Structures are given as structure tokens and as C-alpha cells.
């Protein structure tokens, strides 16, 4: 293993770079999580998360990775044998479906080709067929991290409304929160699942459920066993700024700082920055002569771009070279995309020159791996970034 100098380029689509400000905030003596000082921190982060989810409803914080928040969303609202409708956008949808099955739910899984978001028309068709309202929840992944395709959540909401179907709408925003526009209340989402380690610029270890009144009503009669994930106990303790068990105290210091940073930049500017970096990345991919995995331009992800390898070339070889030679981590192809794509993360604490450096590493890595490309990708991205800068965009 060679010795590297300078900063590692962590270009996976999460965990993302943790800003120095957030690292400094975490680096503090641990405090008594049942003492008066903690309550102020608890209140501040619980309130400060709401604008990030664009909700006036409670946001629950778990000391868990995103998978925990997936489970919490299901076990708090559903009963054994309940039917849920899910859509195969990619590997994360597959994993959430597997979890639902393990918990004893009946999953109606609409197949997808891993190149686009969930199809509102297909969901509407299933809901129309379900006259008895057996389906209790529709669960979609907003930004499918394995493919770089976004689901148009407002259109899924309209599909529910047009059919008059009462199912809950649950959305996984683990790789879209604080990166891609998301408006829980305006879009009529009942449960939002989030995580700390991507757009929120924190280390892994916190995850979230934002829950509206309809979801809370469902929780009253839901019968799946739940203990650690129980919303009711959590919300009761949160009233006073506390948690029913030991919270991840130092990560909450980091969360407070990250929320300040997002507020200083302004969420709309955060979204515009992510849009600019994703557009620059796509221009690079096209100029290299490679294919973007997401097949629907209206559904391109602003958090990451998955790049398809030409036949006979291994994406993991490109990743290996980028790591060994340039100290850059790129995202691997997940599930059935292993070896076929690599993913460039461009979310979180990130700027134009970090993106430029990353794309240089990708272009050199591709060339060293013998992938036939035009060496024009970096230039295309730089031209776009420079023109956006001259127009004052983002």
C-alpha cells in the first residue's frame, strides 16, 4: 500500500466528507444526557431538523444507521400480514423490501430496470386494482443510491390522491436529504426516513423518522412488535429535550453544527450547488463517451452519478486504480450492478474544485484502466463550472 499525502478524496455517495467545523464540534467532552445542559441541545437539534425535512411535524432521531430508521418506519405503523407496495428502483429498494418481508409484511414489489425512479403510473395502476384497500403503505426510495435515479415523489402522492387510496406514503430520503429538494409536508409524505452520513455531512450513526399525524394515528393501532424503535416513548421523552435511552451525544453536537452550516448557506442554495455539480459530472461522462446509468433525464440524481462501463471493462478495476494511484474512493456497483458501474458521489460538503479534482482522478483512472474514452470529460466539466460561476449560479 503506497503512502498518500494530502486529503483523501471520498467520492462515494456517502458517508461523505465531514466538515472541519463539524469535527471540531464533535470533539468535546461527553455530557450527561440526563442533565439540564443536554435538554437545550436536544431541543435545538429536534427543532432544527424540521426545516431540513420541510415539515412542521416531529422528527425522531435514532442512534442507528439508516437501516434502523427503515425498520422504525415499518414497525411503528404496520401489523403482521399487512400489504405494502414497493418499487424496485435498485439495491436499496431491494433491501427495504427484504426487511419488510422479514418483519412479516406482504410485499407487492413492482419490478423496475434499475435505471429510473419509481413509475407513478405503475403505482397508480396497482392502487386502482386494490379496491379493498389491502395495501397499507406505499414505500419508495427518493434517491436510489445504487443507480443515481430520483423518484418523483409529488407524482406518487398524486397517484394516491387520484385513486383516493388511504395507504401511508413512506419515503426514504437517506441520500437526498439536504442535497435534493424534498418537501415532506407540501408533498403529503406521512413518514420520511433519513440518515446522517450524506447530505447532512455527519459521520454515520444517526438516522431519522419524520412523522405526520396520519402516521402517528396508524401507530396507535399497529401491531408489529417494537421496542427500541417505539415512536411513542421517543416522542414523550423528546417533549422535554431528552431521549428514552442514551443518545449519541457527541454526534448531536455535530448535528447542531451541520444544521447551522445548512442554515447559513440556505437550503435552496444547497440544492442549487448539488444541481450544478451533478450537471458538471454528467457533462464529463458524456464527453468521455460513456453512458449515464439513469435513463430518464428528468430523474437524474443530484447526489451521485452512476457511470456504465463499456462491455469487457470492469468498473472495480477503475476504482482500484483510482484508490491506489490517486487516493480516491469511488462507489462500487451494488447488487446486480457489481463491476458494471462505478458511482461518483458529489454530495454533502463539496465544492467546484473538489469536483474538478475528483473528475481528474476519474479521467486518469479510466485511461490507466484502458477504458476507451475521449480525454475531454474534465474540460467539459470545467467549462460548465466556469460558465455557471460567471453567471453567479448556485
Ligand X SMILES: Cc1ncc(COP(=O)(O)O)c(C=O)c1O
Q: Per CB under 6 A, does 92 bind ligand X? A: yes
Paired sense of beta strands 59-62 and 207-211, if any: antiparallel
- Count the site residues for ligand X by CB under 6 A: 12
- Of 44, 48, 67, 104, which lies in the binding site for ligand X, with binding defined by CB under 6 A? 67
3-state secondary structure of 245: coil
Is beta strand 191-195 parallel, antiparallel or unpaired with respect to 168-172?
parallel
* Pair 369, 317: CB distance under 8 Å: yes
Asked if 148 and 301 count as a contact pair (C-beta separation under 8 A), the reply is yes
Of these, 58, 112, 148, 195, which contacts ligand X (CB under 6 A)?
195
Q: What are phi and psi of 202, to 5 degrees?
A: -110, 165
Nine-digit cell string for 366: 479510466
Closer Cβ to ligand X, 58 or 331, answer by number: 331
Contact predicate 199/175, CB 8 Å: yes
Stretch that binds ligand X, among 168-176, 253-261, 306-314, 352-360 (CB under 6 A): 168-176
Binding residue for ligand X, selected from 31, 65, 104, 233, defined by CB under 6 A: 65
Nearer to ligand X, 331 or 365 (CB): 331
Task: Indicate whether 141 belongs to the interface with ligand X (CB under 6 A).
Answer: yes
| Beta-bridge partner residues of 9 | 328
Site string for ligand X, 5-44 (x = CB under 6 A): ---------x------------------------------
In the bound state with ligand X, the residue whose beta carbon lies nearer, of 252 and 304, is: 304
Q: Which of 55, 77, 89, 145 binds ligand X (CB under 6 A)?
A: 145
| Position of minimal CB gap to ligand X | 66
Q: Tell me if 394 contacts ligand X by CB under 6 A.
A: no
Please pick, from the candidates 11, 89, 151, 175, the single residue that binds ligand X as defined by CB under 6 A. 175
What are phi and psi for residue 222, nearest 5 degrees?
Answer: -65, 140
140 near 107, Cβ under 8 Å?
no
Cα–Cα dist 61/41, whole Å: 13
Q: Which is nearer to ligand X, 76 or 173 (CB)?
A: 173
- What is the footprint of ligand X within residues 200-229 (CB under 6 A)? 204
Q: Between residues 103 and 366, which has the closer beta carbon with respect to ligand X?
A: 103
Burial of 206 (0-12, 13-18, 19+ CB in 10 A): buried
Q: Does 174 bind ligand X (CB under 6 A)?
A: yes
Distance in Å, CB of 211 to ligand X, minimum:
18
Alpha helices in the chain (DSSP H): 20-26, 36-53, 66-77, 91-102, 120-129, 153-163, 213-221, 231-238, 249-265, 267-288, 315-326, 352-368, 377-390
**Per DSSP, what are the bridge partners of residue 207?**
62, 195
Cβ nearer to ligand X, comparing 66 with 112: 66
Phi and psi of 204, rounded to 5°? -65, 155
- Taking the least distance from each CB to ligand X, the nearer of 163 and 209 is 209
Is residue 281 part of the contact set for ligand X (CB under 6 A)? no
Query: Which of residues 58, 66, 112, 194 is near ligand X by CB under 6 A?
Result: 66
Report, in Å, the least distance between residue 293 CB and ligand X: 15
* Closest by Cα among 230, 261, 234, 231 to 247: 234
Q: Which stretch binds ligand X (CB under 6 A): 62-70, 234-242, 300-308, 325-333?
A: 62-70
The nearer residue to ligand X, 11 or 145, going by C-beta atoms, is 145
Q: Is position 49 an interface residue for ligand X (rule: CB under 6 A)?
A: no
- Asked if 329 is part of the footprint of ligand X (rule: CB under 6 A), the reply reads no
* Distant-in-sequence, close-in-space partners of 73: CB < 8 Å, separation ≥ 6: 139, 170, 191, 193, 209
Q: Rule CB under 6 A: which residues touch ligand X?
A: 14, 65-67, 92, 141, 145, 172, 174-175, 195, 204
Amino acid at each position: 500500500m503506497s503512502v498518500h499525502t494530502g486529503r483523501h478524496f471520498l467520492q462515494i455517495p456517502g458517508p461523505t466528507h465531514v466538515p472541519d467545523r463539524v469535527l471540531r464540534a464533535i470533539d468535546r467532552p461527553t455530557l450527561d444526557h440526563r442533565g439540564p445542559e443536554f435538554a437545550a441541545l436536544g431541543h435545538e437539534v429536534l427543532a432544527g431538523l424540521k426545516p431540513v425535512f420541510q415539515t412542521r411535524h416531529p422528527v425522531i432521531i435514532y442512534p442507528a444507521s439508516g437501516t434502523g430508521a427503515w425498520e422504525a418506519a415499518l414497525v411503528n405503523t404496520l401489523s403482521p400480514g399487512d400489504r405494502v407496495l414497493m418499487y424496485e428502483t435498485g439495491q436499496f429498494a431491494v433491501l427495504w423490501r427484504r426487511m419488510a418481508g422479514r418483519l412479516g409484511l406482504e410485499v407487492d414489489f413492482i419490478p423496475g430496470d434499475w435505471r429510473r425512479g419509481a413509475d407513478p403510473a405503475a403505482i397508480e395502476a396497482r392502487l386502482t386494482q386494490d379496491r379493498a384497500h389491502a395495501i397499507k403503505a406505499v414505500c419508495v426510495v427518493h434517491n436510489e443510491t445504487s443507480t443515481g435515479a430520483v423518484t418523483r415523489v409529488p407524482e406518487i402522492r398524486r397517484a394516491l390522491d387520484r385513486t383516493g387510496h388511504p395507504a401511508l406514503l413512506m419515503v426514504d430520503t437517506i441520500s437526498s436529504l439536504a442535497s435534493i429538494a424534498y418537501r415532506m409536508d407540501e408533498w403529503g409524505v406521512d413518514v420520511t426516513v433519513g440518515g446522517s452520513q450524506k447530505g447532512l455531512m455527519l459521520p454515520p450513526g444517526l438516522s431519522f423518522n419524520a412523522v405526520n399525524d396520519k402516521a402517528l394515528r396508524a401507530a396507535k393501532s399497529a401491531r408489529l412488535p417494537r421496542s427500541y424503535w417505539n415512536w411513542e416513548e421517543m416522542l414523550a421523552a423528546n417533549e422535554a429535550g431528552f431521549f428514552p435511552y442514551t443518545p449519541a451525544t457527541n454526534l448531536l453536537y455535530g448535528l447542531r453544527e451541520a444544521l447551522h452550516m445548512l442554515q447559513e448557506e440556505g437550503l435552496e442554495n444547497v440544492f442549487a450547488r448539488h444541481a450544478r455539480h451533478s450537471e458538471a459530472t454528467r457533462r464529463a461522462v458524456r464527453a468521455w463517451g460513456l453512458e449515464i446509468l439513469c435513463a430518464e433525464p428528468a430523474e437524474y440524481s443530484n447526489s451521485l452519478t452512476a457511470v456504465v462501463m463499456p462491455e469487457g471493462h470492469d468498473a472495480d478495476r477503475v476504482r482500484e486504480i483510482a484508490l491506489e494511484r490517486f487516493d480516491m474512493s469511488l462507489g462500487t456497483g451494488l447488487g446486480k450492478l457489481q463491476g458494471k458501474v462505478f458511482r461518483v458521489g458529489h454530495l454533502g460538503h463539496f465544492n467546484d474544485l473538489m469536483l474538478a479534482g475528483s473528475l481528474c482522478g476519474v479521467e486518469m483512472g479510466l485511461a490507466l484502466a484502458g477504458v476507451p474514452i475521449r480525454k475531454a470529460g474534465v474540460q467539459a466539466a470545467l467549462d460548465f463550472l466556469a460558465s455557471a460561476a460567471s453567471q453567479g449560479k448556485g
